[in-house]
Amino acid sequence: MEYDVIIVGSGFAGSTLARKFADDDKKVLVYEKRPQIAGNMYEETLENGIRVHKYGPHIFHTNNKQVFDFLKQYGPWYFYEHKVVGKIKNTFVPIPFNFKSIELLFNESEAKEIEQHLLKKYKGLKTISIFDLLHDSDDVIQKFGSFVYKNVFENYTAKQWSIPVSEIDQSVINRVPVVLGYDDRYFQDQYQYMPKYGYTRIFERLLEHNNISIRLSTNALEDLSIKDSKIYWKCQEFKGIIIYTGAIDELFHYQFGALPYRSLDLVFENYDMNYYQPSSVVNYPNEEDYTRITEFKYFNDQIIDHATTILKEYPKKYNVEDENCIPYYAIISEENQKKYNQYYELAQKIPNLYLCGRLAEYKYYNMDAVIARALDLYEKVGK
Ligand code: FAD
Ligand code: UDP
């Protein structure tokens, strides 16, 4: 079969684009190097009957109606507002840190004073960055900011990124604000839903199309090569569209060096009990080696007696030489962006090659941002 479009990777970037092109009657070939589709959103059911997110907890949230409308076509979603607690000074308090967290960790008069100062200074705002609190001219607020920084952000961030907190791009830490009130949701987005039958089912339906062929357990780079800014597929020049959602440095054989990432050891544990912890995710900013524990039963209200599965996330350095090590988080910095730009320039010289997704663009993208980016790209090249 002649293909119009070749897509490398079956996460949300690749699968969204595959579907869009297929609906437009283009013949699409999707390569996926893993034995299954769905990228990092893949879910599987364990022997104890619990459905888990194999590559870490994924909670959908967005303010982008177009993205959610697109997803809704591929299966039912249920309303789910994610709530997280963090173990701070041996107490479980809401994260993002909010007024309830203040009241659990400070005595009544201190809590009242902090809340009053915050409300007066930031009247009308729902959330605030920890950096604004740290640099506030009001002593009470500044002291409170230092407390939150020390107990919520400093050690968690050091564990997660293993570089001095001062070197982390502030946008990363600002993903988790301080809440000026009692809203205890982890995300403040308008649309917060989870797929009723899991993400894998959504991907199956996205890719279920007569015009889409899928090659699993195959690294696309076995069939694709680049020479003189042209793409060759199985040794023939390929003039159709190539969508690449894999790691950009791998595509160009690491010629400018590997782009740095943070990785995770994901350790699943099964227990013979109804519930292990008080909420789906508990953050451990301080004493423990892991950053958070997810208990999957809370997602999709899985009702299974005397069994539960949890996941502990241990951050680690990404090692490009180790096949089992997954590049989870791009490390956003000027230096890394410069290296990325060198690869990007090479990619730009190939007129029918398009980069999309967290690895190809080296971005800290949430799922919704990747889908938005894929829909946008389709508008530009698909028509
Ligand atoms: P991926 O999902 O990584 O898909 C890329 C696919 O390409 C992979 O399946 C890979 O195997 C394949 N591939 C790569 N190279 C090749 C090749 N050469 N040949 C064949 N196949 C190839 N976002 C949220 O919105 N909410 C969350 O709660 C959330 N939680 C997260 C938790 C963790 C621990 C992490 C790391 C990320 C989380 N994210 C979350 C972000 C989310 O995972 C990404 O936005 C999403 O995976 C991006 O989709 P993608 O298609 O770009 O990449
Ligand atoms: N963070 C923190 N303490 C927390 C939660 C988050 O310091 O309890 C910081 C940390 O640097 C983390 C970043 O905020 O990498 C973003 O957190 P988020 O929960 O969005 O991370 P993700 O879900 O993408 O792993």
Are 379 and 266 in contact by the 8 Å Cβ rule? The answer is: no
Do residues 140 and 218 both lie within one domain?
Answer: no
End position of a domain, from candidates 179, 205, 221: 179
The verdict on the CB of residue 220 being under 6 Å from ligand 1 is yes
Closest CA to 347 of 215, 235, 246: 246
Domain presence at residue 189: no
The pLDDT confidence band at residue 164, using thresholds 50, 70 and 90, is confident
End position of a domain, from candidates 179, 209, 241: 179
Do residues 277 and 359 both lie within one domain?
Answer: no
Distance 175 CA to ligand 2 centre (A): 7
Do residues 290 and 335 both lie within one domain?
Answer: no
The span from the CA of 6 to the CA of 13, in Å, is 13
Give 103-157 pLDDT, tens digit per residue.
Answer: 999 999 999 999 999 999 999 999 999 999 999 999 999 999 999 999 999 999 9
End position of a domain, from candidates 317, 341, 363: 317
Domain presence at residue 186: no
Do residues 350 and 365 both lie within one domain?
Answer: yes
Domain presence at residue 188: no
Do residues 201 and 222 both lie within one domain?
Answer: yes
Domain presence at residue 48: yes
Residue 293 reports pLDDT greater than 70: yes
Distance 17 CA to ligand 2 centre (A): 29
The verdict on the CB of residue 203 being under 6 Å from ligand 1 is no
Count structural domains, the chain: 3
The span from the CA of 259 to the CA of 335, in Å, is 10
> Relative to the CA of 186, which ligand 2 atom is closest?
19
The pLDDT confidence band at residue 301, using thresholds 50, 70 and 90, is confident
CA dihedral over 208, 216, 30, 299, signed as positive or negative = positive
Domain presence at residue 322: no
- Residue-wise DSSP of 41-96: G-EEE-TTS-EEETTS---EEES-HHHHHHHHTTS-EEE----EEEEETTEEEEES
Ramachandran assignment for 18, one of left (phi > 0), alpha (psi -120 to 50 degrees), beta (any other): alpha
Closest CA to 217 of 30, 360, 4, 19: 30
Do residues 102 and 124 both lie within one domain?
Answer: yes
Residue 383 reports pLDDT greater than 80: no
CA dihedral over 57, 59, 158, 152, signed as positive or negative = negative
- Residue-wise DSSP of 240-295: SEEEE-S-HHHHTTTTT-PPPEEEEEEEEEEESSS-SSSSSEEE--SSSSSSEEEE
Domain presence at residue 304: yes
Do residues 48 and 160 both lie within one domain?
Answer: no
Domain presence at residue 12: yes
Distance 160 CA to ligand 2 centre (A): 8
Omega before residue 285 within 30° of 0, cis:
no
Q: Average pLDDT for residues 214-231, to the nearest whole number?
A: 97
Are 148 and 97 in contact by the 8 Å Cβ rule? The answer is: yes
For residue 22, CA distances in Å to 30, 61, 72, 90, 345 come to 11, 26, 18, 53, 29
Do residues 241 and 363 both lie within one domain?
Answer: yes
3-state secondary structure 30-49: EECCCCCCCHHHCEEECCCC
Residue located nearest, by CA, to atom 13 of ligand 2: 173
The verdict on the CB of residue 309 being under 6 Å from ligand 1 is no
Are 233 and 223 in contact by the 8 Å Cβ rule? The answer is: yes
Do residues 232 and 117 both lie within one domain?
Answer: no
Residue 374 reports pLDDT greater than 90: yes
Tell me, what's the pLDDT at 209?
Answer: 98
Tell me, what's the pLDDT at 286?
Answer: 95
> Relative to the CA of 218, which ligand 1 atom is closest?
20
The verdict on the CB of residue 370 being under 6 Å from ligand 2 is no
Distance 49 CA to ligand 1 centre (A): 25
Do residues 35 and 91 both lie within one domain?
Answer: no
Instruction: Indicate which CATH number applies to the domain containing 255.
Output: 3.40.50.720
Do residues 156 and 92 both lie within one domain?
Answer: yes
Domain presence at residue 250: yes
Q: Which ligand is nearest to the CA of 130?
A: 2
The verdict on the CB of residue 172 being under 6 Å from ligand 2 is yes
Q: Which ligand is nearest to the CA of 286?
A: 2
Q: Which ligand is nearest to the CA of 171?
A: 2
Tell me, what's the pLDDT at 181?
Answer: 98
Q: Which ligand is nearest to the CA of 224?
A: 1
The pLDDT confidence band at residue 231, using thresholds 50, 70 and 90, is very high
Domain containing residue 110: 84-179
Q: Which letter does DSSP use for residue 111 in this model?
A: H
Do residues 71 and 207 both lie within one domain?
Answer: yes
